[in-house]
A and B are shown apart, each in its own frame.
Chain A
Amino acid sequence: MGEEYTSNPYESFRVFSEMWEKRLNDLLIKSIDQRELTMLTQLGVTAHSRYIERMKRNQELIANMINIPTKKDVANVAKLTVQAEEKLDILQQQIWELQDAFTLAFREQNKLVKEFMEFNQNLQTEWDKSKKELIEVKKINTEVKKLRQELADYQGTKTIVEELKTELTQLKEIKSEVAQFKEMVRMENQKKPLVTAE
């Protein structure tokens, strides 16, 4: 049994049929590839269309006479549902647009609130800083006042110094007058011995 040639007997059948299928298709395409056949088909299509049209017309006519709905009537009702669906779609799109607009507005609002909070915080910081500065300014003011007082005191001293200066000038003048007087006395003293010698 081991030496026996076991195979799928249908494999060659498949290859053979594939070959024939291809040949038959080539033959079919060649045989139908004719202008006349297309014209004949057009005739058949027109006749068939006329038949369908007449059949549908008669069907509508009979259904109308015996007052029963046709598929066309059902289709017309179904169309209303489709139209309602379309309106819903339009509404849905508008809702989306609104959602998008709201999302955008919310985002902008958040941004604005954030900016406002930052501004507020900055304002608070500035306020604290100003407060500190105000205290500093007050301190400086007190010091300035003190200085002014000291300066005022200094002004009194200055007047005394001025008076002293004036007195000193007067003293200098007296000193110079005394020096002149001294000179005059010396000169007088030098003149007296010359007269005695004669």
Chain B
Amino acid sequence: MGSTLKGRLPVPNLNTEKDRWCQLYKVLNEPRPEIIPSPRQAVWKKNKSVLWYYPAKEKKYDIPLFMVYSLLNKPYILDISEQNSVIGNLTKQGYDVYMYDWGSPGLEDKDITLDNYILDYLEMAIRVALRHSKVSEISLVGYCIGGTLSAILASITDLPIKNLVLAAVPIDYSDFILPDQWVNAIQDGTLNLDRMINAYEVIPSEFLYATLLALQGFNIGPNINLITRGHDQAYVDKWRRMDKWLKDPVTFSGAAFKQMLNELYKNNKLVKGELVIGGKRVDLRNIDCNILVITSTNDNLVLESQSLPVMDLVSSEDKTYQLVEAGHVSICLTGKFAFAIDPWLSTRSDLN
């Protein structure tokens, strides 16, 4: 009986356990890892924003990619480590990549609106990229809120955008991840943050971090995963990089935050075709370039129902929808994003 029980009881491997606890000790006591970006060059700077250029390792495609990340987080998640870098993998695949870093606004930027971000910053940055690359067309890749801004820009600009990739993009705000009563309260004005935004002028990064934490509820999963896979050095390294990125949020211009809350979250003007940017009405039907929309199966921040309507709203003939097995952050953290868009982009990235 004793021997039978001995054979069935799980016996921990001492070496594994030693590795696990050493790694955990390092996580707790060592400074956060330094993120070393892929070889890049600053092409243009405006205020706090920077346009980075990542040349292809061996150029295979004529049309470069222009990546626009969210305004809510720092974009280095796209280039988090050498092995799992989205940008690194794209440059290895033969694309020239431009990435626009919005920067973190200060008090002097409190009046920057979405209009300014889209027309004075993003549109100008794309013009600079086009001039720098000396090509006549570009592929615009927008992620999360960056995708929303890219879609808005694509529908009002005369820029030669050949391909538009929207990943984890919130377009329809009739439903979002908050509980129903909270969504209703925001939409009918019971919950109005205008006064608080005016008081703060620039939304502090701590506020955004706290909001993100609150949206996740009980989020012990990552910590449990760290303990469970603590013996795996590669996993721990990835976990630490993600942890650093999560705890490194940006500030948000008050005017843009208010505009986003009222025009998108409250009134859902983008889908209704009532949004006006720089005096132009944003009509997504004006988008007629090739379009790829990507959503993740485990995305807990942007619902699939928020991204899908864009497929019917644009007038593009070449439109593709793709569902990827990943989460909102993990699609970038693992570098999967580069492999998800490559098959579609590679066939559309040569000049006619």
Q: State whether the Cβ of A14 lies closer than 8 Å to any Cβ in chain B.
A: yes
In the bound complex, residues from chain A placing their C-beta under 8 Å from that of B120 are 86, 89
A4–B14 Cα distance when bound, in Å, is 14
In the bound complex, residues from chain A placing their C-beta under 8 Å from that of B10 are 5-7, 9
- Stretch with Cβ within 8 A of B (4 or more), from A20-28, A114-122, A142-150, A186-194: A20-28
Interface of A is mostly: helix
- Stretch with Cβ within 8 A of A (4 or more), from B91-99, B178-186, B339-347: B178-186
A24–B216 Cα distance when bound, in Å, is 11
Tell me the chain B residues, 3-62 only, with Cβ under 8 Å from chain A. 6-13, 16, 46-47
**B199 contacts A49, C-beta separation under 8 Å:** yes
20 A-B contacts (beta carbon < 8 Å): A4-B6, A8-B228, A17-B221, A18-B224, A32-B182, A34-B181, A38-B184, A39-B190, A45-B192, A45-B195, A48-B199, A49-B195, A49-B198, A49-B199, A50-B199, A52-B196, A75-B108, A86-B46, A93-B124, A93-B127
Q: State whether the Cβ of A33 lies closer than 8 Å to any Cβ in chain B.
A: yes
Q: State whether the Cβ of B135 lies closer than 8 Å to any Cβ in chain A.
A: no
Q: State whether the Cβ of B1 lies closer than 8 Å to any Cβ in chain A.
A: no
A5–B13 Cα distance when bound, in Å, is 10
**A6 contacts B13, C-beta separation under 8 Å:** yes
Q: Which residue of B has the minimal Cβ distance to A32? A: B179
**A5 and B9 in contact, given A49-B195, A79-B108 (Cβ under 8 angstroms):** yes
A50–B200 Cα distance when bound, in Å, is 11
**A24 and B217 in contact, given A75-B106, A82-B108 (Cβ under 8 angstroms):** yes
Tell me the chain B residues, 214-232 only, with Cβ under 8 Å from chain A. 217-221, 224-225, 227-228
A118–B202 Cα distance when bound, in Å, is 66
In the bound complex, residues from chain B placing their C-beta under 8 Å from that of A71 are 107
Tell me the chain A residues, 29-45 only, with Cβ under 8 Å from chain B. 29, 32-35, 37-39, 41-42, 45
**A6 and B12 in contact, given A52-B196, A85-B47 (Cβ under 8 angstroms):** yes
A42–B195 Cα distance when bound, in Å, is 10
In the bound complex, residues from chain B placing their C-beta under 8 Å from that of A41 are 191
Q: State whether the Cβ of A72 lies closer than 8 Å to any Cβ in chain B.
A: yes
Q: State whether the Cβ of A159 lies closer than 8 Å to any Cβ in chain B.
A: no
Q: State whether the Cβ of A46 lies closer than 8 Å to any Cβ in chain B.
A: yes
**A78 contacts B228, C-beta separation under 8 Å:** no
Count of interface residues, chain A, beta-carbon cutoff 8 Å: 48
A46–B11 Cα distance when bound, in Å, is 57
Select which of B7, B107, B228 is within 8 A of A14 by beta carbon: B228
**A5 and B199 in contact, given A24-B218, A38-B181, A78-B106 (Cβ under 8 angstroms):** no
Q: Which residue of A has the minimal Cβ distance to B231? A: A8
In the bound complex, residues from chain B placing their C-beta under 8 Å from that of A25 are 217-218
Q: State whether the Cβ of A198 lies closer than 8 Å to any Cβ in chain B.
A: no
In the bound complex, residues from chain B placing their C-beta under 8 Å from that of A89 are 46, 120, 124
A10–B225 Cα distance when bound, in Å, is 9
A78–B111 Cα distance when bound, in Å, is 13
Select which of A5, A18, A42, A86 is within 8 A of B8 by beta carbon: A5
**A76 contacts B219, C-beta separation under 8 Å:** no
**A14 contacts B225, C-beta separation under 8 Å:** yes
**A85 contacts B46, C-beta separation under 8 Å:** yes
Interface code B216-256, partner A: CB below 8 Å = 1, 0 otherwise? 01111100110110000000000000000000000000000
